[in-house]
Each structure stands twice: as C-alpha cells, then as structure tokens.
Chains A and B, each alone.
Chain A
Amino acid sequence: MIRCGMDLGSRTVKLVLDEDGEITLKRSFDTAAFYREFWKSNDGELRVDTARLGLPESGLTVTGYGRNAVKVKGAQVISEVKAHCMGAARQTGLDDFVLLDIGGQDTKIARVSGGRMENFMMNDKCAASSGRYIENMCGVLQMPLDEISRHFENPARLSATCAIFGESEIIQKITEGTPPGEIAAGVNLSVVKRVLPMLARFPDGPIVFAGGVARNKAVTYFIKERTGREVIVVPEPVYNGAIGCAYL
C-alpha cells in the first residue's frame, strides 16, 4: 500500500512516499517555488496539482502552515504538532518522549505518552528561536549553515530578543573583535535559551529532536548540556512531519 505525506512548511514543502512501511521517496521544494509550479486555481479554490507531482490518487495526508490556505484533493488534513509527534514516534520507535521540533518559523514542544500526544506548546508572535533566525545570522556572519552548526565553544553573549535586532548585535560583536566562531556559538546558544523555558514545562522523558534545526550539532549539544536530559535526533529531521503524515 502506498501512502503519501506532505508537509506544507513555511520555508520548504516536504513530500514523502511510503510503500508498505518503506520510505521510497523524499523530496523537498522551496515553498514559494512549489506554489508557483504545482498550484492551480479550480473554481476559486486553490489546489495542489497532485497529478503533476505524480502522487497517488488516495492515501495522501497533509500538514503544515499552508494546509488552511491550499486544498489538496482527496487528502486528509492533520495538525503539524500531531504530524511531528507521529513522525518522531515512527522514526525512534518510542512511545514516551518529549518532542522538540524547531522549524523555519515554529518551535513546537509536545509530550507523548503511551504513543499519544498529551499536551503541547508552540512559540507565539516571535521567531527569534527558529531556523529562520539562524539563517539570517549566517548571512550576517557570512558563514554557511553547516559551519555555524559546528560552533559551541565560548559562546558570545547575545540577547537575541529579536531576530532582526540580533543582526545589529552581531555586527557589534564583529567590530569588538569577537571571533566569528564564538559569535556562531552564541547564535546557537541563544536559540536554545529560548527553547529551555518551554522544555522545562515537560520535564520527564527523553527529548526527541526534529525539524531542520535538529541538524545543527551545536544546538543539540547545548540542549543536552543545559537540560542534562537524553536528546535523540531523529534520522530524518527535515522530513519528520511528512513521515508522520505518511504513517497515519
């Protein structure tokens, strides 16, 4: 049986095909480009052109920020937080854990108990702890994402109250002569500091880390260091939501 999961994220759209429990296809598209190419208007409704994407007629489950704006024919729609919990459960085989998902704009934390989501929190009105914040800082530091994620030693002190004001804060650090690696470590730590109060609300069980920011090794390091808890990064952090959809 073929099942398809689609995660209409704020930065990228992720697609996963699951054939009899085996992931046979993973694809990722820039969100804006995806809508330009695979979106069509039908009787005033915006629909994803599933035929052009070569997707099956049935067995499609959709999640993500775009799910309220776009219709996907024949698809079941679930919330992001549920999709990510399902994805994390599938990827780790765990039934009891705390999900931490840091994506392009959102940070989600959920407690999963006995395989069922029991409670969750999401950041609100501010994306200073999100993937987009780190991306912006890469631009200012002129450092690729992979490079930034390696730095965790001597983190520079950053307030990071705002993803935009954070840029001028970094420029000030550069002019003060702070080594770029230490600023990068400060960026990674400031993301974690934003997430810690939310993690503290769900203090029991291992943390299962998903979303694009889970590929950042320094962020993972700081979460372990600051919480003293076990942190498991899922094998496919970016596709976690889509995998959760295909798992339903």
Chain B
Amino acid sequence: MGKIGFTTTVPVEVILAAGLIPADLNNIFITGADPGDVVDRAETLGFPRTTCGWIKGIYLSAKEAGITDVVAVTQGDCSNTHALMELWQADGMNIMPFAYPYDRDRDLLRLQMRKLMDALGTSEEKTDKVFRELAPLRTKLKRVDEMTWKDGNVTGAENHLWLVSASDFDGDRDDFEARLDAFLKEAEKRETAPTGRPGAGLPAVRLGYIGVPPIFTDIYETAARSGAHVVYNEVQRQFSMPHDTDNLYEQYARYTYPYDVFGRIRDIKEEIKLRRIDGIIHYCQSFCFRAIEDLIVRRELKLPVLTIEGDRPGPVDARTRIRLEGFVEMLRDMK
C-alpha cells in the first residue's frame, strides 16, 4: 500500500496518519488527459450508457493509475459504488468499505473510522495529531472561500478547484499548502473582483452552486461570461471541512454531504443568506438519485433554482449553455 484511492471524501487524516498517499479517484479521473475517452472505454467494457459518468470514469482511472487499494464509501454516497467495488474486487483489488451512518450516529461513525485506522495500520492518537496539523491549512481554505464571497477577489472556478482538491490535497499536503500560500498572496493583491462581468454597468449576479462537483470542464467560465459570479460551492466547501470543531469525529459528523438532504439544506440556506445569493444552480449528474432530491431542494429554497444535468466530461453543451445564460439574464433583470 502506497497510494490509497477513495471513491468520495473519507477522513483523509487516517490515510495521512498511516503514512500513505491519499488519492481521490474523482480528481484523478477528471484531471486526466482525456476523461471523455476513459468513459468511452468503460462503456466498451460493458458499463451501461445510462449510468453515472463518474462511476465509469473512476473505475478505469483507478486501474490505469496503478491503484490497488481503495476505500469505497458504501453508505453516504450511492449504490452504484457497491457494484463498482465488487467489480474492482473481481479484478483482484483490495477494497476497504467505509460507511457514513445515515442518522449521523456518533458511535457508529467513530467505529467506522477506527476500523479504517486498523485497516490502514494507524492509531487514533496519530490520526488526531494529523487532524491538528491540518487545522492551519483548513483555515487557509476558509480564507479562499471568504475571498470568493466577501472580498470578491477569488473566482468561482478558483474556489471550486481549491476546495474540491481538499479531499486529498492533490496527494501532497505540504506542496498543496505551499501552492495555496502563493495563491493567497497573489489573490490578496488583486484590486478588482475577477467576476467576468461583461460590459459596463451590468450588475454581477451572485450564484450558488449546489450538488456534486460538475463533470463539465468550463461551467464556471460559462457562468462568468454570462456575467455571474459563483460565490458558493456547496459540496466542494464541505470537502474542505470548514466546521468549527476541535474534535476529529465531530468534524466528520458535521460534514453534510454523506447524510440526509435536510442537513445539506440547512447548510445551504445559511450560506444563501450570508453570501447574498440571487439564484441557485443545482447540478445533478445524469442518472443520479440526487435528481429526485431536486424536488425537496426546490420546495425548500425560496429563490430561483436552475437544475442542470451533466452526463459526460467536456465543455458545457449548447443546450445547457443557453439555459444558464437565460437564468443569469433573468436574475439580472430581477435585481
């Protein structure tokens, strides 16, 4: 075991405490040379066309990156992961299941995390030490987020990239922190908000992005070209563990993504108010169960919501683009 792959965010402190390299398979897949080709090849192997692009992508990406040990999240993500881990197992890979308890039961969560520590050969003491070491880095990520919505000198795309990378710190937390320091230094000096506001006099529309990270490669740029500033990335922010707690287990109990949608909605509502958001983009991956949760999202959020669906990696398609442009135009007219 050198690199430990995982299917969605897991307590990265455990992997680091074991002296291993964390590898978020989603990041490996989407930042690869040709993620669209990976999906095509997974379909050639027999993955149904009508299933999640992320699952198809990470299946082959893990194998091609030579990863043999994977922490697979069996509860708190989706049931497609079950079939994925079984397929990897059939291929001879070492799979360690990890389950976030649906009801946030603290005892069960602690048990799951301890089992992961045992599986990776580390201890609670060592993991807690890493948790404390990471605190300054997590504070810097909170600063990136604050500069996005409060100061306006970090773009929605930059916010997305830094926060989404916090699941594995790109495999090297020291290098990640050094790059983050340099970024913050540069961004703090920026004078004007790089919101991509086209033309003079148009008010920038403040968008919130909720749902899983996009499979589209240029959605933030597309929004910026339409004159919108994405000031909130819900799940990416959760990946950065912005929760004010000095307890490792509590951090993962407050993490909203793997639990019920109502906890997510409470978090989203608070951030909408704080960040003065005009409208919400709800991203759903094609064929994902979360498209059903869109019903609750729309019922609960009292501001315009545009639901967009992405299937395969690549730039935003023409139809999604015209819908996004229309949405931003409407929000601008409403201001």
Interchain CB contact under 8 A, B319 and A125? yes
Interchain CB contact under 8 A, B334 and A118? yes
Q: Does A41 contact B (CB under 8 A)?
A: no
Shortest distance between the CB of A176 and any CB in chain B (Å): 29
Q: Knowing A80-B322, A118-B304, A201-B298, say if A125 contacts B329 (CB, 8 Å).
A: no
Interchain CB contact under 8 A, B298 and A68? no
Q: Does B311 contact A (CB under 8 A)?
A: yes
Q: How many B residues have CB within 8 A of the partner chain?
A: 20
Residues of chain A within 8 A of B326, CB atoms compared: 79-82, 120, 122
Q: Does A221 contact B (CB under 8 A)?
A: no
Residues of chain B within 8 A of A116, CB atoms compared: 333-334
Q: Does A65 contact B (CB under 8 A)?
A: yes
Q: Does B68 contact A (CB under 8 A)?
A: no
Shortest distance between the CB of A115 and any CB in chain B (Å): 11
Partner of A68, one of B304, B305, B322, B333: B322
**CB closest chain-A residue, reference B330:** A117
Partner of B330, one of A68, A81, A124: A81
Residues of chain B within 8 A of A82, CB atoms compared: 326, 329-330, 333
Residues of chain A within 8 A of B304, CB atoms compared: 118-119
Residues of chain A within 8 A of B275, CB atoms compared: none
Shortest distance between the CB of A246 and any CB in chain B (Å): 18
Rounded to whole angstroms, the CA-CA distance of A204 and B334 in the bound complex is 20
Shortest distance between the CB of B335 and any CB in chain A (Å): 11
Q: Does A2 contact B (CB under 8 A)?
A: no
Q: 0/1 per residue, B276-309, Cβ < 8 Å to A?
A: 0000000000100000000000100000110011
Q: Does B115 contact A (CB under 8 A)?
A: no
Q: Does A78 contact B (CB under 8 A)?
A: yes
Shortest distance between the CB of A63 and any CB in chain B (Å): 10
Chain B residues in the interface with A (C-beta under 8 A): 286, 298, 304-305, 308-309, 311, 318-323, 325-327, 329-330, 333-334
Would you give 19 A-B contacts (Cβ < 8 Å), ordered by A? A68-B321, A68-B322, A78-B329, A79-B325, A79-B330, A80-B326, A81-B330, A82-B326, A82-B333, A116-B334, A117-B330, A119-B330, A120-B326, A120-B327, A124-B309, A124-B320, A125-B309, A125-B311, A201-B298
9 A-B pairs with the lowest CB-CB distances in the bound complex, closest first: A79-B326, A81-B326, A119-B304, A79-B329, A117-B330, A122-B323, A79-B325, A124-B309, A82-B329
Given contacts A118-B330, A125-B309, 16 further A-B pairs with CB under 8 A are A78-B329, A79-B322, A79-B326, A79-B329, A81-B326, A81-B330, A82-B326, A117-B330, A118-B334, A119-B304, A119-B330, A122-B326, A124-B320, A124-B323, A125-B286, A125-B311
